[in-house]
Amino acid sequence: MDLAFSAEEEAFRREVRAWLDAHRVPEPPSGTDLDSHVRALREWQAALAGAKLVGVHWPEAYGGRGLTWIHNFIVQEELARAHAPEIINRIGVNLVGPTLQEHGTAAQQHRWLPGILPATELWCQLFSEPDAGSDLASLKTTARREGDTYVVNGQKVWSSYAQYARWGYLLARTDSDAPTHKGISALVIDMHAPGVEVRPLRQMTGEEEFNEVFLSDVVVEGASRLGAENDGWRIASTTLSHERGTSPRQLVVHAMLLDTLLDLARTTARDDPLIRQELARAYSDIQVFRLHNFRTLTDVLRDGQPGPQSSVVKLFWSEMSQRMHDLGVRLAGPAAYADPDTVGVEGLVRNMLYYRAATIFAGTSEVQRNVIGERSLGLPREPRPLS
Ligand SMILES: Cc1cc2nc3c(=O)[nH]c(=O)nc-3n(C[C@H](O)[C@H](O)[C@H](O)COP(=O)(O)OP(=O)(O)OC[C@H]3O[C@@H](n4cnc5c(N)ncnc54)[C@H](O)[C@@H]3O)c2cc1C
């Protein structure tokens, strides 16, 4: 196996790095002023897209460069290295874009793809409901056929950035009599349509990144359905495999976090054998995580989309992340809470709180273990409830 990047890919990396060196990256979120942060992030994504540095593996017709997943991997690594924040329209770029390219009609692609890379139109993902998270197929939101339209009623929750979204990628039940997986359709809804109400929820970081979304008699054009009626589960499966995908960003972010942890251990003189073991584990984890990423990248290059291997990547980084952030806060001690600047770890506490969510979003750790057991290792399926 050759783990080196080619000369052409390294030249591309230099181009990306030079661009990032010449442009000021936005500051991380400070306080709870999400509106101005989102505004800055939209401008940043527009600038990146102007330099064709978002979705470089997308077709040129939709703002990409028609390059490979490896090039996309390199861009993610370089953005993280430059301390650039995650792009604001990541649901559009990482989830909706690939799904539209695989399942959308030409008219749907023409309508929605161009607004995604420059973040002129933000997207949210309306999958989870109060009683349907891990067991997504049990979702209750309905879309009732009325002539050429659907009338949607129900409630979604944990919908990230829904308060800023122009479009929502919705899963709704179109056949209540069919077995759960077979009665679902995928619809694109206009977040400005009458009957859509978005209520932000506050996370323990103090930010209001996700929301409840109430849908009351929302009218959706039939032409906004992705794929066939009742075939939404298949469409969503494409989306979910991309949601786990590779995580070059997390690789770089945590490699940099390890440097912070080592500095902290030195400055706080915590030459404790147990701390040394935890640091050694963090170092080893990052090496293992790098290899998992490369394995998933190989799958994507071969099959065009990430397979069940992507669950290993998601499971691994999310749990590694929590261990590393917990260690950082322990090393920094009470000063991390009192005055983060005194120990040079600004954001450590905020990130420790934020990354608690990492083992929940995009599928919990238990769900990833089920996927790995059933789809990668070929173990028997978990028993389904009898009802
Ligand atoms: C920060 C954040 C952002 C999010 N953004 C979005 C978004 O934009 N759009 C969206 O649709 N959703 C979003 N989500 C929701 C996320 O997908 C769900 O939280 C997740 O799927 C888990 O569902 P749940 O919260 O209902 O927990 P549940 O499914 O109720 O799980 C509760 C517990 O039971 C365990 N469990 C459940 N089923 C099994 C099983 N079969 N085997 C073993 N254990 C099991 C789980 O692992 C968990 O520990 C977001 C979540 C977070 C935290």
Q: What is the CATH number of the domain that holds 227?
A: 2.40.110.10
Query: What angle separates helix 69-81 from helix 273-303, to the nearest 10 degrees?
Result: 150
User: Do the domain assignments include residue 207?
Assistant: yes
Statement: residue 2 has pLDDT above 80: no
- Of the pLDDT bands very low, low, confident and very high (cuts 50, 70, 90), residue 348 is confident
Tell me which of 134, 242, 374 to substitute to probe ligand 1's pocket, judged by most ligand atoms within 8 Å of the beta carbon: 134
Domain extent, residue 328, equals: 245-376
Task: State which ligand 1 atom lies nearest to the alpha carbon of 129.
Answer: 26
Q: What is the mean pLDDT of residues 125-150?
A: 97
Higher-pLDDT residue of 219, 300: 219
Higher-pLDDT residue of 34, 276: 276
pLDDT in tens, 10-19: 999 999 999 9
Q: Which pLDDT score, from 0 to 100, does residue 386 have? A: 54
- Of the pLDDT bands very low, low, confident and very high (cuts 50, 70, 90), residue 3 is confident
Consecutive H or E run containing 73: helix 69-81
Q: What is the mean pLDDT of residues 223-233?
A: 97
Consecutive H or E run containing 172: strand 167-173
Q: Which pLDDT score, from 0 to 100, does residue 307 have? A: 81
| Same-domain check for residues 162 and 269 | no
Q: Which pLDDT score, from 0 to 100, does residue 281 have? A: 97
Higher-pLDDT residue of 265, 344: 265
| Same-domain check for residues 136 and 257 | no
- CA geometry: angle at 255 spanning 249 and 257, to 5°? 100
Q: Which pLDDT score, from 0 to 100, does residue 31 have? A: 58
Q: Could you give the number of structural domains in the chain?
A: 3
Higher-pLDDT residue of 9, 272: 9
The helix/strand/coil state of 201 is strand
| Same-domain check for residues 59 and 147 | no
Statement: residue 152 has pLDDT above 70: yes
Tell me which of 141, 155, 359, 360 to substitute to probe ligand 1's pocket, judged by most ligand atoms within 8 Å of the beta carbon: 360
User: Which amino acid does the sequence have at 114?
Assistant: P
Question: pTM to 2 decimals?
Answer: 0.93
The helix/strand/coil state of 219 is strand
Q: Look at the block and give the residue holding tokens 């173990």.
A: 379
Q: How many CB atoms lie within 10 A of CB 201?
A: 12
Q: Which pLDDT score, from 0 to 100, does residue 387 have? A: 47
Higher-pLDDT residue of 184, 34: 184
| 335 ligand 1 Cβ < 6 A | no
User: Do the domain assignments include residue 339?
Assistant: yes
| Same-domain check for residues 292 and 270 | yes
Let me know: does 124 contact 159? Beta carbons within 8 Å: yes
Task: State which ligand 1 atom lies nearest to the alpha carbon of 126.
Answer: 11
Which residues, at least 6 apart from 303, have a Cβ–Cβ distance to it below 8 Å?
A: none
| Same-domain check for residues 279 and 341 | yes
pLDDT in tens, 58-69: 999 999 999 999
Q: How many CB atoms lie within 10 A of CB 379?
A: 11
User: Do the domain assignments include residue 99?
Assistant: no
The CA 264 to ligand 1 mean position distance, Å, reads 33
Entry field: residues in the chain: 387
Percent of the chain exceeding pLDDT 90 equals: 73
Closest CA to 101 of 83, 117, 77, 85: 117
Q: Which residues are catalytic?
A: 243
Q: Which pLDDT score, from 0 to 100, does residue 343 have? A: 52
Higher-pLDDT residue of 249, 161: 161
Task: State which ligand 1 atom lies nearest to the alpha carbon of 132.
Answer: 26
Q: What is the mean pLDDT of residues 45-62?
A: 96
The CA 157 to ligand 1 mean position distance, Å, reads 10
Q: Which pLDDT score, from 0 to 100, does residue 22 have? A: 96
Q: What is the mean pLDDT of residues 40-53?
A: 96
| Same-domain check for residues 299 and 213 | no
Q: Which pLDDT score, from 0 to 100, does residue 28 have? A: 66
- Of the pLDDT bands very low, low, confident and very high (cuts 50, 70, 90), residue 341 is low
Q: Which pLDDT score, from 0 to 100, does residue 12 have? A: 98
The CA 150 to ligand 1 mean position distance, Å, reads 27
Distances (CA, A) of 366 to 15, 135, 382: 40, 12, 12
Percent of the chain exceeding pLDDT 70 equals: 94
| Same-domain check for residues 131 and 63 | no
Cα 347 from Cα 31, distance rounded (Å) = 11
Looking at the DSSP bridge assignments, the partners of residue 325 are none
Closest CA to 133 of 360, 348, 355: 360
Tell me which of 129, 158, 205 to substitute to probe ligand 1's pocket, judged by most ligand atoms within 8 Å of the beta carbon: 158
Statement: residue 223 has pLDDT above 90: yes
User: Do the domain assignments include residue 95?
Assistant: no
Q: What is the mean pLDDT of residues 260-274?
A: 86
